[in-house]
Amino acid sequence: MRPQYFKHRATFDFDKNTNDVGFPLPWKKGNEDNHFLYRLYRKNKDQYNSLYQHHFNYFLRLYPEATEQEFFVHIKQIITDAITELVGKDRYTSKHAQERRNRLQLQEFLEYLNTLDQWFIQSTDQETIKRQLEEIAKLISENKKLKEENKKLRELETKDYIDIREGRHKTLYHLMLQIRELKLEDNKELTNATTLNIWCKMIAKYFRVGGKEISFESVKPYFPPENSADLTKYKDIPKKDQLFTVVPAKKRSL
């Protein structure tokens, strides 16, 4: 048991939205758990994580050798004890409505804690089974999604290829290099590659030369990065292979 788990409120700090525990005026220490619950009751579901992380980070600064599991156990014990106490309260009092709201909020916060619980801390068999079933359902859903994605990918996959005449593969490279540089009437590129090597990968994957595969490394030297200053590692297409020139079509009058 550590002497302190929560960050105390500074004297004269009257911020109503603070995550710190305690009062803005001098107060007696030792009942920080009640002050934490008081602060929790004034938070909504979207603020639970910031409240938890605020005190957990402070706890680690106080005790660098500590673990999240230690802090988590302390927090969860406070919440479960408070729920147990509220469940045993007399229903027929003027405080019942507020106590019921507090209990529901504590249960909501406990559900949040369960999303962080990597250690199955003090879970009942029913809670453990429920969480395991939820995790299984999540994995099944993710697996289904992956299968659907793989199915779509397989639909695009093919063992077919486009065969280039023997010795004419550099002519294809020359055409693709021209396509890469084409610009439309607004002076913007016709194509925009998401990666530098996509042209090389496309050729290596979907084209053959005389039925033989084209290696990626053999294509790469002919496709320098656009606007590259250093071209010493790259090769020019030989003149004898520059058989076609891509030029804009003449505008037709309507």
User: Two tokens at 65?
Assistant: 């050798």
Phi, psi dihedrals of residue 130, rounded to the nearest 5°: -60, -45
Q: What is the distance between the alpha carbons of residues 151 and 165, in angstroms, rounded to a whole number?
A: 33
The per-residue pLDDT for 150 is: 81
User: Two tokens at 31?
Assistant: 């009942």
Phi, psi dihedrals of residue 164, rounded to the nearest 5°: -100, 145
b vs e for 38-59, b when ≥16 Cβ sit within 10 Å of the residue's Cβ? ebbeeeeeeebeebbebbbebb
Question: pLDDT 10s per residue in the chain (254 long)?
Answer: 889 999 999 889 898 889 999 888 888 888 889 999 999 999 999 999 999 999 999 999 999 999 999 999 999 999 988 988 888 888 888 888 898 999 999 999 999 998 998 887 755 555 655 666 677 778 888 888 888 888 877 776 778 889 999 999 999 999 999 998 898 889 898 988 888 789 999 999 999 998 999 999 999 999 888 666 567 788 999 999 999 999 888 776 65
Question: What's the Rg (C-alpha) of the chain?
Answer: 33
b vs e for 64-101, b when ≥16 Cβ sit within 10 Å of the residue's Cβ? eeeeeeebbebbbebbeebbeebeeeeeeeeeeeebee
| pTM for the full predicted model | 0.49
Q: Are 163 and 210 in contact (CB under 8 A)?
A: yes
32-40 and 48-62 helices, crossing angle to 10°? 150
